[in-house]
Structure 1
């Protein structure tokens, strides 16, 4: 019996080591002055991070990515919450159809979708290609599966019909019950959906590169443009991105633990 916990611990630590190894190596490379023919780097420096975070082009790309992701998530939240409530409370038979519809953005490869969007919005009455608006609308569709699935699971867990019936018995109207009773019970699912979708959208490259490119340079487009520069500089950028996503995840976990 004592061998089983030991085997489990070894398995977990081995998995953690495998996952952490590329991160540690990238961090070491981003701090190395020079790392060429030798096994270990020759000296460490923070100059690569200083160069990165004093680069106005990087800061602008970082801000654009943040702005586009937040705008897309806000749009998703405003639209998906009422739709979820109507489907789960008034038309529960439509759940299967909704599950199919929200997965459609992943049914078509991003390159194929980008070509279609380029043909539709490159000219005509809505010339959106090259503007942040097409990226916001595109990211909105990509975030729908994350938002819908997480919130749908949460609604199933709270038993929406019984919750609404109890609120109505206490004199609350439908809108009041949704805002004051249902939404607080969706807090954990909402936080999970937002941060999961955010981490995915913040690292999206294909749509950003094909639809807007350098005309509205996002972080991933900037990273791609710097691929031929110093590997130390690129590693510093990757570690900064990883740190930002890690902090966002930590904040989400803290908010979830407080609301639990």
Structure 2
């Protein structure tokens, strides 16, 4: 592999520095005992993290966010995997329509969508407004574009018809071929789709705040409610969120490399 020129390496380091500086400053501020008029903090302490992780309200909001995101991902995975297989294997002419349909959740601004959902489910046979179910169903639709695009790219790359024909020649039925031949070939794309959707949903605020608010307080709603408290405390929250997403990214990359 040729050694990159100095200009290329300089560009990469500048980009890394620009991306890392806000994170590093937030980390230092979250560890500072106090940081007022001086350039450097007066001391370092873990008191903000201890205060954060001993707060039962924060832990409950964190757990609710995890629960809602995982429920939405399970629901979207149960729908999108069979639908993708049917479209790509039996009805390939419908790919364009599917691309259009899965992008529709992003065609309407979140505030407009939230108002429509509140009016639709405020009463009637399904009074879901203010309950976590409306948030799960909303997150389900938001996760579909991430799931569909990542899995569709994998299905287009593995020659689905050739794999299925080979499995049929060896005596496997369609369901068995899908489970034992197709799924192992798209598992890296599946992990990528799950992580992309999870990282987006876990940080989503607008729908969570408008649809359920403090009645089912998620992590982002809790973070918004603490905006007037100590900046050190909110910085500790932001860094905890960032470290959790970073850990999830590391786990996803390890799983992909191990199964590659």
* TM band (smaller chain): over 0.9
- Distance in 1 (CA, whole Å) between partners of 2:229 and 2:136 is 29
- Distance in 1 (CA, whole Å) between partners of 2:203 and 2:82 is 28
3-12 vs 79-88, greater mean Cα deviation: 3-12
- Distance in 2 (CA, whole Å) between partners of 1:247 and 1:47 is 22
Instruction: Report whether the alignment pairs 1:129 with 2:129.
Output: yes
- Distance in 1 (CA, whole Å) between partners of 2:232 and 2:83 is 47
1:3: Cα distance to partner? 10
- Distance in 2 (CA, whole Å) between partners of 1:63 and 1:123 is 28
Give the equivalent residue in structure 2 for 1:229: 229
SS of residue matched to 2:33 = coil
SS of residue matched to 2:197 = helix
- Distance in 1 (CA, whole Å) between partners of 2:4 and 2:79 is 49
Give the equivalent residue in structure 2 for 1:200: 200
1:83: Cα distance to partner? 0.2
- Distance in 2 (CA, whole Å) between partners of 1:217 and 1:189 is 32
Across the aligned residues of Structure 1 and Structure 2, the Cα RMSD in angstroms comes to 1.1
- Distance in 2 (CA, whole Å) between partners of 1:108 and 1:15 is 33
Q: Which runs of 4+ in 1 moved over 2 A?
A: none
Number of aligned residue pairs: 259
1:69: Cα distance to partner? 0.2
Give the equivalent residue in structure 1 for 2:16: 16
Give the equivalent residue in structure 1 for 2:155: 155
Give the equivalent residue in structure 2 for 1:86: 86
The aligned runs of 1:164-183 (5 Å cut-off) are 164-183=164-183
1:36: Cα distance to partner? 1.1
- Distance in 2 (CA, whole Å) between partners of 1:259 and 1:107 is 36
- Distance in 2 (CA, whole Å) between partners of 1:106 and 1:39 is 43
TM-score, normalised relative to structure 2:
0.98
1:26: Cα distance to partner? 0.2
TM-score, normalised relative to structure 1:
0.98
The aligned runs of 1:1-260 (5 Å cut-off) are 5-260=5-260
1:175: Cα distance to partner? 0.5
Q: Which sections of structure 1, spanning at least 5 residues, go unmatched?
A: none
1:123: Cα distance to partner? 1.6
